[in-house]
Amino acid sequence: MDFNKKACLLAAALMSCMHAFAQKKNFTMAEATNGMTTTLAPKNIKGFSWQPGTERFWRADKKDSADIWTYTDYTKQSAPATANVEPGDYPGKTAKSSLPALKWLDKDNAYFQNGKDLITGKLDDNKWSWTKWTTLPDNADNVTVSKNRRIAYTIDNNLWMYDNGAVQATNETDKNIVCGKSVHRDEFGIDHGIFFSPKGTYLAYYRMDQTMVRDYPIPHWDTVPAIVDIIKYPMAGGTSHQVALCVYDPATKKTVVMKTGTDEKDHYLTSVTWSPDEAFIFIAILNRDQNHLWLNKYDAKSGEMIKTLFEETNPKYVHPTHSLTFIPGKNDEFIWWTERDGYDHLYLYKTDGALVRQLTKGNWVVNDIAGFNMKNKEAIITTSKESPLEKHIYTVSLESGKVSRLDKDAGMHTALCSEDGKYVYDSYSGQGIPRNCAIYSTSGSFSDKLLSAPDPLITYNRAQVRNITLNINTADGALPLYGKLILPPDFDSTKLYPTIVYLYNGPNVQLLHNTFPESGNLWYEYMAQHGYIVFTMDGRGSWNRGLAFEQATFRHLGDVEMEDQLHGVNFLKRLPYVDGNRMGIHGWSYGGFMTTSLMLKHPGVFKCAIAGGPVMDWKMYEVMYTERYMDRPQDNPDGYAAANLLDKVKNLKGKLMLIHGTNDNTVVWQHSVNFLKKSVDEGIQVDYFVYPGYEHNVRGKDRVHLMQKITDYFDQNLK
């Protein structure tokens, strides 16, 4: 080949590469908003489940464009067996039916819900046979299934049970007495109100009396004239609801109430757990001040309290969020989660209250208990031990507390264990890893890689992402804060860029992780593609850094968090490519409170801001959350006054847009409406937009409208 021909080919190759690079596209607003859960979602393993009593996992698959199940059996570790299983016909199946997710009842039996029909299936010689179990009423909710095939559900405010026929377990005629539903406004880790005993013999449930709580109107504008939904919303310092735990016996049709009564009727009941033998129920009782917890043991048949196993106190607050986890095969040993040493760790207890040992310890948080390998006498857990930005899988010895890491790669790992704990399914993502899935033995002797997902964003103009660590000085020394700087794809350090700070910085939430996409949010990258720098950081008060980090905000929400965020702003202003005169800020919910706080308490720092669903006055927010972090208004008037934004409207400099859902029953609409009234009174101009019919956030296709509204506002005021 002569030189000229080589040169031509090289030039053509270079032009091809340049053309391919130039062809990379920007995200549409729809892709930036919902793409990671729809069209741009990384490939995944669908319908994963471990079959009980086996070392076999199932997944939803396709064969010749038809839906099938595939299982892999690791009984013979050296030669795992894989087979395809036809789903077979089931009642209600149509040509458009997608493969349902299996919910196992036992080794050979499973069920799933198809519309209002519950379908049961039996596996025999790798073939499924299906029958319709029952059809639930149209208004059935909170459907819960026991191991012995009983079904509990709620209709309006009452609890029903199906066992070869429907039986009404409660008969409350007052709609403000609610049975079988989540209570305490989903605080304290509560997300349901029905608790079948392990064998399904008994049915425990929450009974919430809200008759003493003030009514609150939620208007609905989709009819003419508009109608009002009256809810019960206990506000900080006001009267709260009263909750009991009841046990219904299907054999006798009788109900027993656990005798949890104290002088303080508006205490909180959480961590509800049955003993494996169904003889006892354990309940964590937290006082209204949330600084004193009693873990009590009750006789399930009589409701009598047997004893208080132990108490926990904290001068600020105790925050239980997990039920007890009994050790498999033992009726007298359980794991209790607590932050008593400053971090959420696991403690092994006897059911008489005797502490056996602390299982995990260190300046890191346990995130999940995934399972147990009782042959090796160990639990499988996930923790932030390596970094608050990551989650990894470990075994922890129940005898010595020794922890051993199972996974190998950086990132955010989730674990699903086989019933015997011999194998763990690990699905994770991280920097440059859209999703990897693998099976490995908890002994470390075997691994099987199932999926390495291709990059769904490879054809896009990706933002540059820089991980930032900023140190702040506290009474306990320097403390690192973690952030991300998202830069335009064609970033030029000699230019000045408008910059947006996105924040939440409230309790129980962490924005920053080592995950995919590296930015954490494709909307950040959309803004970077359109000439912005975006900065986000978790300051003190946020989750996963231990109790002291979170409790730094106690009784004065907004102060320390603003100090940390302004530390981030000062970092940004020192960067030669950040235009300090064109800075914006945006946050939702607690982030909306923070956004508005910064605009009013530190006017002039930001040229414009967008606050979604913001808390404006903590006296108008719910009892359980607010009083944990602020105490009651009557006990902390100065803290509530300092955090109140309604009397600080006159301080506003720059442009502020408020956004709220008209049906918001979390941060009620009145927060921003009252702010508007104050703005009128003070002669202050603010911008406002509402989303009719939406509650605390805007989801689905209409979220694209929301994010376009936010983007347009920044474009109008920062460009």
| For residue 11, pLDDT beyond 50 | no
Q: Could you tell me which residues come within 8 angstroms of residue 283 by beta carbon, excluding any fewer than 6 positions away?
A: 245, 258, 260, 269, 270, 271, 272, 273, 295, 296, 298
Domain ranges across the chain:
464-614+646-718
Q: Which residues of 44-63 are buried (b: 16+ CB within 10 A; e: fewer)?
A: ebebbbbbbebbbbbbbbee
The band of 101, judged by pLDDT with boundaries at 50, 70 and 90, is confident
| For residue 16, pLDDT beyond 50 | no
Q: Is 707 helix (H, G, I), strand (E, B) or coil?
A: helix
Q: Give the number of other Cβ atoms within 10 Å of residue 121's Cβ.
A: 22
The band of 96, judged by pLDDT with boundaries at 50, 70 and 90, is confident
If you search the block for the tokens 């989709």, which residue do you land on?
222
Residue 375 near residue 367, CB atoms below 8 Å: no
User: What's the Cα-to-Cα distance from 396 to each of 340, 372, 407, rounded to whole Å?
Assistant: 19, 9, 14
Percentage, residues of the chain above pLDDT 70 = 97
Q: Give the pTM.
A: 0.95
pLDDT of residue 22: 56
pLDDT of residue 5: 46
Q: What is the mean pLDDT of residues 500-525?
A: 98
| For residue 496, pLDDT beyond 50 | yes
Q: What is the per-residue pLDDT across 116-125, written as a single tens digit (0 to 9) for each?
A: 999 999 999 9
- For residues 704 and 706, give the distance between their C-alpha atoms in angstroms, rounded to a whole number: 5
Superfamily for 464-614+646-718? Answer: Alpha/Beta hydrolase fold, catalytic domain (3.40.50.1820)
Say which DSSP state 286 is in: E
| For residue 18, pLDDT beyond 50 | no
Q: What is the per-residue pLDDT across 544-558, written as a single tens digit (0 to 9) for each?
A: 999 999 999 999 999
The helix (run of H) or strand (run of E) holding residue 217 is strand 215-220
Percentage, residues of the chain above pLDDT 90 = 93
Q: What is the mean pLDDT of residues 180-196?
A: 98
The answer to whether the peptide bond before residue 488 is cis (omega within 30 degrees of 0) is no
| For residue 12, pLDDT beyond 60 | no
Residue 154 near residue 140, CB atoms below 8 Å: yes
How deeply is 701 buried, as exposed, middle or buried, from its count of CB atoms within 10 A (0-12, 13-18, 19+)?
exposed
pLDDT of residue 261: 84
Q: What is the mean pLDDT of residues 576-604?
A: 98
How deeply is 684 buried, as exposed, middle or buried, from its count of CB atoms within 10 A (0-12, 13-18, 19+)?
middle
Q: Give me the long-range contacts of 396-405 (CB less than 8 A, separation at least 24).
A: 396/346, 396/359, 396/360, 398/327, 398/348, 398/359, 401/357, 401/358, 401/359, 401/360, 401/361, 403/360, 404/444
Tell me the average pLDDT of the chain: 95
| For residue 529, pLDDT beyond 60 | yes
pLDDT of residue 125: 93
Q: Give the number of other Cβ atoms within 10 Å of residue 637's Cβ.
A: 11
The band of 6, judged by pLDDT with boundaries at 50, 70 and 90, is very low
| For residue 488, pLDDT beyond 90 | yes
Catalytic residues: 589, 664, 696
- For residues 177 and 175, give the distance between their C-alpha atoms in angstroms, rounded to a whole number: 5
Q: What is the mean pLDDT of residues 299-309?
A: 98
Q: Give the number of other Cβ atoms within 10 Å of residue 384's Cβ.
A: 22
Q: What is the per-residue pLDDT across 36-69, written as a single tens digit (0 to 9) for each?
A: 999 999 999 999 999 999 999 999 998 888 899 9
| For residue 230, pLDDT beyond 70 | yes
Q: Could you tell me which residues come within 8 angstroms of residue 674 by beta carbon, excluding any fewer than 6 positions away?
A: 616, 617, 646
Q: What is the per-residue pLDDT across 130-153, written as a single tens digit (0 to 9) for each?
A: 999 999 999 999 999 999 999 999
Q: Is 244 left (phi over 0), alpha (psi -120 to 50) or beta?
A: beta
| For residue 430, pLDDT beyond 80 | yes
pLDDT of residue 7: 46
Q: What is the per-residue pLDDT across 313-342, written as a single tens digit (0 to 9) for each?
A: 999 999 999 999 999 999 999 999 999 999
Q: Give the number of other Cβ atoms within 10 Å of residue 605's Cβ.
A: 21
